[in-house]
């Protein structure tokens, strides 16, 4: 409840995938520090509509940091300046009066721009479809407590499963690698006894799909972990590499 | 009443589902391969249904408006999922889960459906664990449980405060597996804009590709709407921004009855509104009421900070009014109690429209527990605080972080400020026991239907219902319809019916674009939301509802003459999508008020100020209103009421008491 901000916004505008985009500059004033970043964009958009301009297209849905849909690259960082926060949970109290804020879409050839700040992340869905599951049909399951699972393993699997699939890891990576995303799913399932049966084929299939989508290689810089809004650990990449190499060496 | 046959199987309540499963028609595997099913929505109900039906061999198409099926709003469910496993040995059973759900719903749900839900609840947990859903576990490696409102057992399974996320990702994995195998065709960034009926049966949909704006025709032998609830009619709610009633409303206008539209759930623990800019509200999970204590100052208009108010000047009003259930009373009761205190002048925070949810006592209790565990005999206060906070962080860390992000206050140090907000809608499309609407071949699953929660849903039961419908109910019940469809070949969409449906959709979009008025969509949505919240929210009156119906009708007219939609029809245009949804909300809002006005009683989330007991509890009228109100669309602003009588053969109806 600090008071109001006047800001300069430099926002990437691009009509569709086949035309070039460019930055446009907008001034916004009277922005409450209690607003979320997306609410600030709402204010701008309603003004643009009233003035007869096309509002800025951006992806968003739950606005509580869990659906993974929002995806703005703010001042050179995915989801903006704060650690462990998605764009929708970023609040304007993190900015200063008079600041210039630059907003871009995720930049990666595997995430082509659809319009303005909206990109196509269906490559992530295809990576999961390649192997990010346990092959158990509905009705196959035995009693849930039949297989006790070490609490530490269950907690670690949960930590990996907390990935929201937003793509910040790809946007942060200089190689646009999807290793953190892919490894989080590989790790979650490899850590659980139910997932171990398919661990080898899973790692191989998901890595192959990741490569096919055009994501880059991992060079262990760690930007993905630093920018991940859900704190997904880079140790998952090491675990995926182990799974992948052991699968490659022992493959039939 | 011939139109409303709920098709409840005969026999004893506990045997109905088993008997049904053994006698329902089956479709043989080779016929399944030529039967096509359309699933709209990819949340818990949609993803689980699509995956399960594809596993059985049906050809499935799935549509969602988001960029990926994993974004569906089920992902945001926090606290947990109920199941009658009785792992805690605390006396739980299928019957108790059934009983708690009927009672929690204030005796306005259908017995047979609820019993089936309780029966399959355990299978859901088994299935999810087999998929790799990382539920919370105890040190012995077995699953952990916690309590939710309206129950006296611990039957809620959870994954920190992200249970919905983990369950949805499990269902999404199962769905993507079928996509990878070619059994499901996925259409993301597609919005269903109409149901196509041919000779009275649902035969497909018209969908708009949001990226190109192109309208598409899709055929299906059956259409499943798994499109969630309509809480966003209130503008501010805990729903996602895109959550909408459009698919269900289009179905309603094509003949599907809409049941109990006025039953909405106002969740007691949400972060209060901070200003006019607010675009949505954020829930603080009900699980927080396991350990947190809710209070307001005993003194009216107390301006002191929470930590400055001594213990004996705090009013723990839920513990005071409802000693048997305390802070874990059902949601409708907790919400009304918060409103009552704030209206009486005891609210806190700058807006005075909030109460405290306090963790100080829980932190000390957990800290002492840790000290005992580690044999620390004289722990300092600081040590107790630190250990207690660590335990709270493990249980609720993501929720506490979220609170801090939004409010800028640290809930480990000061009590959270909370206030009720719209969260869930118990009403929805009327369905029979098979989950079929009044349009043959058109089904509604999950929050989109009305069937299981009566007038108030218990916490951790939405996830249970969505997955029950998708994994374990529809795979059986759809056979009853499709077994008779095996001679129907896949139809061409090049027919007059599809053409007419597409044209109607196109005309409506063009009409919207051509209004070229002065006000953005949000302007109308906010005004509708305010009418709904003030007059059809936590407290309703005949007088207020009558006035609201007129106001909403006027707002509809204003919308259709003054809305301003920028951009183009054949490009990504979020404002056009929003406009279509708000146009439908404007019609639904009117029906909600009509329904609330018709129901001259209070029950669950529907509280009519004229009908309350002396101590302010909901006063039902079982003589006159023990029915499901199923509304048929006749024309603009004209709906016809059909009643499905609710018979309680296994439960004695009583005044609901949590004292």
Q: Tens of pLDDT along B567-622?
A: 999 999 999 999 999 999 999 999 999 999 999 999 999 999 999 999 889 999 99
Whether the CB of B183 is below 8 Å from some CB of chain A: the reply is no
Residue B151 lies in a domain: yes
Report pLDDT for A1. Answer: 43
> Residue B64: CB partners within 8 Å, gap ≥ 6?
B40, B41, B42, B46, B71, B72, B186, B187, B188, B189, B190
Per CB-CB distance under 8 Å, the chain B contacts of A65 are 402, 405
**Phi, psi of B295, deg, nearest 5:** -155, 165
On the question of pLDDT at B174 being above 80, the answer is yes
Whether the CB of B188 is below 8 Å from some CB of chain A: the reply is yes
Is B188 found in the same domain as B289?
Answer: no
Q: Which of A46, A77, A42, A78 is nearest to A63 (CA)?
A: A42
Residue B3 lies in a domain: no
Is B441 found in the same domain as B380?
Answer: no
Residue B298 lies in a domain: yes
Report pLDDT for B474. Answer: 98
Distance from first CA to last CA of chain B, Å, rounded?
39
In whole angstroms, give the CA distance from residue B75 to residue B21. Answer: 31
In whole angstroms, give the CA distance from residue B79 to residue B135. Answer: 12
Side-chain-side CA neighbours of residue A95 (13 Å): 26
CB distance B193 to B580 below 8 Å: yes
Confidence of residue A3 (pLDDT cuts 50, 70, 90): confident
Is B409 found in the same domain as B301?
Answer: yes
Is B403 found in the same domain as B440?
Answer: no
Mutate to test the interface with B, among A41, A61, A192 (most CBs of B within 10 A): A61
CATH of the domain at B414: 3.90.700.10
Rounded to 5°, the CA angle B655-B347-A35 comes to 115
Whether the CB of B124 is below 8 Å from some CB of chain A: the reply is no
Q: Which residues pair with B38 in a beta bridge?
A: B61, B223
Q: Which residues pair with B184 in a beta bridge?
A: B60
CB distance B48 to B471 below 8 Å: yes
Whether the CB of A83 is below 8 Å from some CB of chain B: the reply is no
Per CB-CB distance under 8 Å, the chain B contacts of A133 are 131-132, 173-174, 176-177
| Count of all residues that appear for chain B in the document | 659
Of B131, B188, B402, the CB nearest to A122: B188
Of B132, B279, B567, the CB nearest to A38: B279
Q: Which residues pair with B612 in a beta bridge?
A: B618
- Total Cβ atoms within 10 A of residue B253: 16
Distance set, CA B214 to CA B155, B190, B509 (Å): 47, 10, 11
Q: Where are the alpha helices (DSSP H) in B457-611?
A: 462-467, 474-482, 496-515, 521-535, 542-562, 574-598
Query: Where are the extended beta strands (E) located within chain A?
Result: 4-13, 22-32, 73-74, 77-78, 100-104, 113-115, 118-119
Q: Do B132 and A189 touch (CB under 8 A)?
A: yes
Q: Do B408 and A91 touch (CB under 8 A)?
A: yes
Of B139, B159, B211, the CB nearest to A158: B159
Whether the CB of A79 is below 8 Å from some CB of chain B: the reply is no
> Residue B26: CB partners within 8 Å, gap ≥ 6?
B479, B483
CB distance B440 to B202 below 8 Å: yes
In whole angstroms, give the CA distance from residue B327 to residue B289. Answer: 6
Distance set, CA B33 to CA B7, B176, B203 (Å): 27, 19, 17
Distance set, CA A8 to CA A97, A103, A186 (Å): 10, 11, 42
Rounded to 5°, the CA angle B37-B239-A230 comes to 95
Residue B165 lies in a domain: yes
Whether the CB of B408 is below 8 Å from some CB of chain A: the reply is yes
Residue B331: active-site member: yes
In whole angstroms, give the CA distance from residue A83 to residue A86. Answer: 9
Per CB-CB distance under 8 Å, the chain B contacts of A42 are 277, 279, 522
CB distance A101 to A10 below 8 Å: yes
Q: Do A194 and B131 touch (CB under 8 A)?
A: yes
Mutate to test the interface with B, among A122, A138, A236 (most CBs of B within 10 A): A138
Of B75, B128, B143, the CB nearest to A67: B75
pTM of the model: 0.97
In whole angstroms, give the CA distance from residue A184 to residue A240. Answer: 8
Q: Which contiguous run of DSSP H or E holds residue B44?
A: helix B44-56
Whether the CB of A133 is below 8 Å from some CB of chain B: the reply is yes
Residue B462 lies in a domain: yes
Q: Is B214 exposed, middle or buried (0-12, 13-18, 19+ CB in 10 A)?
A: exposed
CB distance A25 to A8 below 8 Å: yes
CATH of the domain at B170: 3.50.50.60
Whether the CB of B131 is below 8 Å from some CB of chain A: the reply is yes
Is B280 found in the same domain as B194?
Answer: no
Q: Distance from B430 to chain A by nearest Cα, in Å?
A: 26
Is B106 found in the same domain as B190?
Answer: yes
DSSP string covering B309-340, please? S-GGGEE-HHHHH-TTTGGGS-HHHHHHHHHH
Q: Tens of pLDDT along A6-63?
A: 999 999 999 998 999 999 999 999 999 999 999 999 999 999 999 999 999 999 999 9
**Phi, psi of B483, deg, nearest 5:** -60, -30
Q: Which of A136, A202, A191 is nearest to A160 (CA)?
A: A191
Residue B550 lies in a domain: yes
Q: Which contiguous run of DSSP H or E holds residue B209?
A: strand B201-209
Residue B504 lies in a domain: no
Q: Tens of pLDDT along B197-230?
A: 999 999 999 999 999 999 999 999 999 999 999 9
User: Beta strand pairing status for A4-13 and A100-104?
Assistant: parallel
Across the beta sheet with B428-429, the strand order is: B428-429, B258-259, B627-635, B638-645
Of B138, B280, B566, the CB nearest to A151: B138
On the question of pLDDT at B557 being above 80, the answer is yes
Secondary structure class of B658 (helix, strand, coil): coil
Residue B623 lies in a domain: yes
Q: Distance from B377 to chain A by nearest Cα, in Å?
A: 27
Is B208 found in the same domain as B318?
Answer: no
User: Beta strand pairing status for B293-297 and B258-259?
Assistant: unpaired
Pick the CATH number of A122-250 from 1.10.1060.10, 3.40.50.1820, 3.30.230.10, 3.30.2310.20: 1.10.1060.10
Q: Do A63 and B141 touch (CB under 8 A)?
A: no
Task: Identify the CATH number of the domain defined by range A4-104.
Answer: 3.10.20.30
In whole angstroms, give the CA distance from residue B94 to residue B102. Answer: 12
Q: Distance from B189 to chain A by nearest Cα, in Å?
A: 10
Per CB-CB distance under 8 Å, the chain B contacts of A85 are 405
Report pLDDT for B1. Answer: 41
Q: Do A144 and B162 touch (CB under 8 A)?
A: no
Q: Which of B87, B169, B88 is nearest to A144 (CA)?
A: B87
> Residue B330: CB partners within 8 Å, gap ≥ 6?
B104, B149, B150, B456, B458, B459, B658
On the question of pLDDT at B2 being above 60, the answer is no
In whole angstroms, give the CA distance from residue B80 to residue B100. Answer: 16
Which of B100-104, B110-114, B293-297, B399-403 comes out lowest in average pLDDT? B399-403
Distance from first CA to last CA of chain A, Å, rounded?
63
Average pLDDT, chain A: 96
On the question of pLDDT at A252 being above 70, the answer is no
Evaluate the CA torsion angle B60, B65, B66, B71 in order and state its sign: negative
Q: Which residues pair with B224 in a beta bridge?
A: B39, B443
Across the beta sheet with B201-209, the strand order is: B190-198, B201-209, B215-219
Among the three residues B420, B438, B465, which one is the final residue of a domain in this structure?
B420
Q: Which contiguous run of DSSP H or E holds residue B140?
A: none
Name the residue range of residue B166's domain. Answer: 21-235+428-482
Whether the CB of B163 is below 8 Å from some CB of chain A: the reply is no
Count A/B contacts: CB-CB distance under 8 Å: 227
Of B51, B132, B211, the CB nearest to A134: B132
Q: Tens of pLDDT along B6-25?
A: 999 999 999 999 999 999 99
Residue of A nearest to B404 (CA): A89
Q: Do B137 and A1 touch (CB under 8 A)?
A: no
From B108, B146, B321, B331, active-site residue: B331
Q: Tens of pLDDT along B263-276?
A: 999 999 999 998 88
Query: b/e for A8-36, b at 16 or more Cβ within 10 A?
Result: ebebbebbeeeeebeeeebebeebbbbbb
Query: What total number of domains does chain B contain?
Result: 3
Average pLDDT, chain B: 96
Secondary structure class of B447 (helix, strand, coil): helix
CB distance B508 to B55 below 8 Å: no
Q: Do A134 and B66 touch (CB under 8 A)?
A: no
**Average pLDDT of span B108-123:** 98
Residue of A nearest to B280 (CA): A63
CATH of the domain at B639: 1.20.58.100
Report pLDDT for B535. Answer: 97
Q: Is B3 exposed, middle or buried (0-12, 13-18, 19+ CB in 10 A)?
A: exposed
Confidence of residue B440 (pLDDT cuts 50, 70, 90): very high
Is B535 found in the same domain as B411?
Answer: no
Is B442 found in the same domain as B407?
Answer: no
- Total Cβ atoms within 10 A of residue A245: 11
Is B558 found in the same domain as B630?
Answer: yes
In whole angstroms, give the CA distance from residue B635 to residue B633. Answer: 6
CB distance B166 to B135 below 8 Å: yes
CB proximity under 8 Å: A 149-188 to B: 149-151, 154-155, 157-158, 161-162, 164-165, 188
Domain extent listing, chain A: 4-104, 122-250
Q: Is B310 exposed, middle or buried (0-12, 13-18, 19+ CB in 10 A)?
A: exposed
């Amino acid at each position: 409840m600090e008071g109001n901000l006047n800001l300069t916004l430099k926002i990437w505008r691009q009509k569709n995938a086949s035309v070039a985009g460019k930055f446009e500059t907008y001034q916004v004033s009277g922005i409450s520090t209690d607003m979320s970043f997306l609410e600030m964009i709402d204010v701008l958009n309603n003004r643009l509509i009233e003035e007869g301009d096309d509002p800025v297209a951006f992806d968003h849905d739950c606005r509580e940091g869990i659906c993974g849909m929002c995806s703005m690259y703010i001042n050179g960082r995915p989801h903006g300046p704060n650690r462990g926060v998605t764009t929708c949970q970023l609040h304007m109290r993190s900015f200063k009066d008079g600041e210039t804020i630059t907003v871009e879409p995720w930049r990666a050839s595997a995430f082509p721009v659809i319009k303005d700040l909206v990109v196509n992340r269906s490559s992530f869905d295809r990576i999961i479809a390649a192997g990010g599951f346990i092959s158990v049909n509905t009705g196959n399951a035995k009693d849930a407590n039949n297989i006790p699972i070490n609490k530490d393993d269950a907690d670690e699997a949960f930590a990996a499963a907390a990935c929201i699939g937003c793509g910040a890891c790809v946007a942060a990576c200089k190689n646009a690698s999807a290793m953190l995303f892919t490894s989080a799913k590989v790790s979650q399932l490899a850590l659980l006894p139910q997932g171990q049966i398919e661990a080898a084929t899973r790692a191989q299939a998901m890595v192959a799909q990741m490569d096919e989508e055009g994501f880059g290689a991992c060079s262990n810089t760690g930007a993905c972990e630093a920018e991940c809004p859900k704190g997904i650990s880079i140790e998952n990449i090491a675990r995926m590499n182990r799974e992948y190499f052991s699968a490659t060496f022992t493959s039939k | 009443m011939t139109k409303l046959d709920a098709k409840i199987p005969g026999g004893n309540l506990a045997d109905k589902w088993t008997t049904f499963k053994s006698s329902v028609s089956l479709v043989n595997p080779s016929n399944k391969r030529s039967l096509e099913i359309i699933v709209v929505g990819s949340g818990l109900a949609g993803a689980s249904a699509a995956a399960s039906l594809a596993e059985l061999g049906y050809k499935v198409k799935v549509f969602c408006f988001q960029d990926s099926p994993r974004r569906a709003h089920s992902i945001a469910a926090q606290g947990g999922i109920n199941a009658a496993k009785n792992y805690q040995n605390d006396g739980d059973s299928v019957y108790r889960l059934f009983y708690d759900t009927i009672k929690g719903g204030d005796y306005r749900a259908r017995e047979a459906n609820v019993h089936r839900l309780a029966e399959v609840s355990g299978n859901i947990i088994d299935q999810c664990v087999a998929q790799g859903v990382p539920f919370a576990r105890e040190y012995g490696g077995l699953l952990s449980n916690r309590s939710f409102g309206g129950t006296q057992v611990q039957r809620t399974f959870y994954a920190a405060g992200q249970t919905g996320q983990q369950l949805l990702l499990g269902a999404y994995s199962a769905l993507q597996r079928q996509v990878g195998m070619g059994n499901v065709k996925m259409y993301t960034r597609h919005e269903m804009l109409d149901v196509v009926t041919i000779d009275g049966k649902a035969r497909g949909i018209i969908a708009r590709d949001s990226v190109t704006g192109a309208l598409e025709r899709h055929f299906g032998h059956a259409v499943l709407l798994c499109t969630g609830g309509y809480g966003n009619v209130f503008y501010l709610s805990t729903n996602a921004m895109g959550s909408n009633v459009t698919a269900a409303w289009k179905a309603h206008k094509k003949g599907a009855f809409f049941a109990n539209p006025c039953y909405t759930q106002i969740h007691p623990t949400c972060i209060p509104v901070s200003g006019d800019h607010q675009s949505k509200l954020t829930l603080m999970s009900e699980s927080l009421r396991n350990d947190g204590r809710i209070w307001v100052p005993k003194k009216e208009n107390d301006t002191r900070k929470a930590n400055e108010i001594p213990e004996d000047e705090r009013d723990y009003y839920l513990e005071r009014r409802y000693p048997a259930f305390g802070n874990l009373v059902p949601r409708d009761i907790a919400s009304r109690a918060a409103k009552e205190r704030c209206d009486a002048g005891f609210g806190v925070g700058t807006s005075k429209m909030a109460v405290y949810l306090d963790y100080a006592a829980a932190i000390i209790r957990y800290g002492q527990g840790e000290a005992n565990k580690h044999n620390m005999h004289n722990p300092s206060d600081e040590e107790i605080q630190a250990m207690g906070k660590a335990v709270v962080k493990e249980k609720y860390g993501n929720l506490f972080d979220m609170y801090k992000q939004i409010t800028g206050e640290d809930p480990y140090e000061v009590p959270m400020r909370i206030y009720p907000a719209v969260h869930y809608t118990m009403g929805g499309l009327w369905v029979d026991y098979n989950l079929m609407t009044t349009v043959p071949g058109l089904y509604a699953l999950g929050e989109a239907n009305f069937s299981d929660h009566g007038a108030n849903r218990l916490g951790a039961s939405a996830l249970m219902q969505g997955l029950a419908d998708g994994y374990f109910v529809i795979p059986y019940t759809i056979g009853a319809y499709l077994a008779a469809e095996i001679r129907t070949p896949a139809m061409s969409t090049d027919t007059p019916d599809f053409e007419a449906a597409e044209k109607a959709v196109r005309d409506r979009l063009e009409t919207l674009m051509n209004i070229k008025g002065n006000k953005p969509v949000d302007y109308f949505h906010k005004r509708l939301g305010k009418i709904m919240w003030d007059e059809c929210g936590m407290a309703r009156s005949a007088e207020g509802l009558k006035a609201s119906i007129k106001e909403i009708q006027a707002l509809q007219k204003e919308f259709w003459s003054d809305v301003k939609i920028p951009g183009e029809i054949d490009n990504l245009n979020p404002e056009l999508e929003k406009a279509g949804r708000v146009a439908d909300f404007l019609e639904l809002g009117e029906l909600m008020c009509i329904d609330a006005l018709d129901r001259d009683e209070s029950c669950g989330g529907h509280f009519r100020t004229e009908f309350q007991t002396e101590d302010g509890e909901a006063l039902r009228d079982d003589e006159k209103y023990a029915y499901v109100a199923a509304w048929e669309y006749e024309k603009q602003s004209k709906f016809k009421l059909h009643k499905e009588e609710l018979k309680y053969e296994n439960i004695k109806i009583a005044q609901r008491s949590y004292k």
